[in-house]
Amino acid sequence: MVHYINPNIILKSIQGMSDEVNLNDFRLKTGIESVAIFKQLINFLAKNRIGIRLDKNGKQMLIFSKMDRIRASLLSLQLGCDIQECSKLLSWKDFEYFTSELLSLFEYQTKVNIILSKPRAQLDVIGIKNDFAITIDCKHWKYSNKTTLTIYAEKQIRRTMLWLEREKKITQALPMIITLDNATFKFINGVPVVPILTLKSFLKEFDKHDESILLIKKT
């Protein structure tokens, strides 16, 4: 449920989101001076189910989860917020957490921040379903340079191969890059580069991309 609000106001709200904060402190943290705009923000967050509002010891309190920060960030992008400004407020941990949550919606068992040794390698998020896995490199800023994306795609392919060699139950894996960029997804050497806003649709239509994707299979 998205109701229009200036996306920059949403960004201000992300600055003030913490586990638990009273209404007055939240307004101070956002830096919003106008009472009318602040009320608009509170109504927007409530209508989009971001945060929980309750009374505690006579004070109006707001409780925010990690997912609330992510939801607010994605809504700001949908409403036209500059992706670079949004990424400044979204940590790489936030981004990885949200990606793993989306995979979970499609019945993937997820792992976050997997470290391999000898040789050392790191995978941000892995989603596993039966004997198949998706290995994800999360990039929470915009990549418009194809050369740069190609380098990261090749690195993700190598990391995926290293991980797959050590997994007994997984027979094939798809390396993927997830970005905050809201452009149409593309393929770089068979590696899907998918904006987080379109990850759901990509997973729903996964079979349509069989001829384009690079599936790494255990030999």
Taken in order of first residue, the domains within the chain and their CATH numbers are 7-89 (1.10.10.10), 92-217 (3.40.1350.10)
pLDDT band at 208 (very low <50, low <70, confident <90, very high): confident
Q: What is the pLDDT of residue 164?
A: 94
CB 111 within 8 Å of CB 149: no
Got the DSSP string for 42-82? HHHHHHTT-SEEEEETTEEEEE--HHHHHHHHHHHHHTT--
Q: What is the pLDDT of residue 2?
A: 52
Q: What is the pLDDT of residue 219?
A: 74
Residues 6+ apart with CB under 8 A from 64: 17, 18, 19, 20, 21, 50, 51, 52
Judged against a pLDDT cut of 90, whether residue 190 lies above it is answered with yes
Average pLDDT over residues 63-74: 85
Q: Which helix (H) or strand (E) holds 111?
A: strand 109-116
Q: What is the pLDDT of residue 3?
A: 62
Q: To the nearest 10°, the Cα dihedral for 116, 120, 122, 126?
A: -30
Judged against a pLDDT cut of 80, whether residue 142 lies above it is answered with no
d(CA 70, CA 97): 9
Angle between helices 7-16 and 23-30 (to 10 degrees): 120
Average pLDDT over residues 197-206: 82
Judged against a pLDDT cut of 70, whether residue 182 lies above it is answered with no
CB 62 within 8 Å of CB 21: yes
Place of tokens 């007994």: 168
Predicted confidence (pLDDT) per residue in 80-127, tens digit: 877 667 767 777 788 888 788 888 888 999 999 999 998 999 999 999
pLDDT band at 155 (very low <50, low <70, confident <90, very high): very high
Percent of the chain scored above 90 by pLDDT? 40
d(CA 206, CA 209): 6
**How many residues make up the chain in this entry?**
219
Q: What is the pLDDT of residue 71?
A: 83
pLDDT band at 1 (very low <50, low <70, confident <90, very high): low
Place of tokens 């790494």: 216
3-state SS class at 122: strand
Q: What is the mean pLDDT of the chain?
A: 86
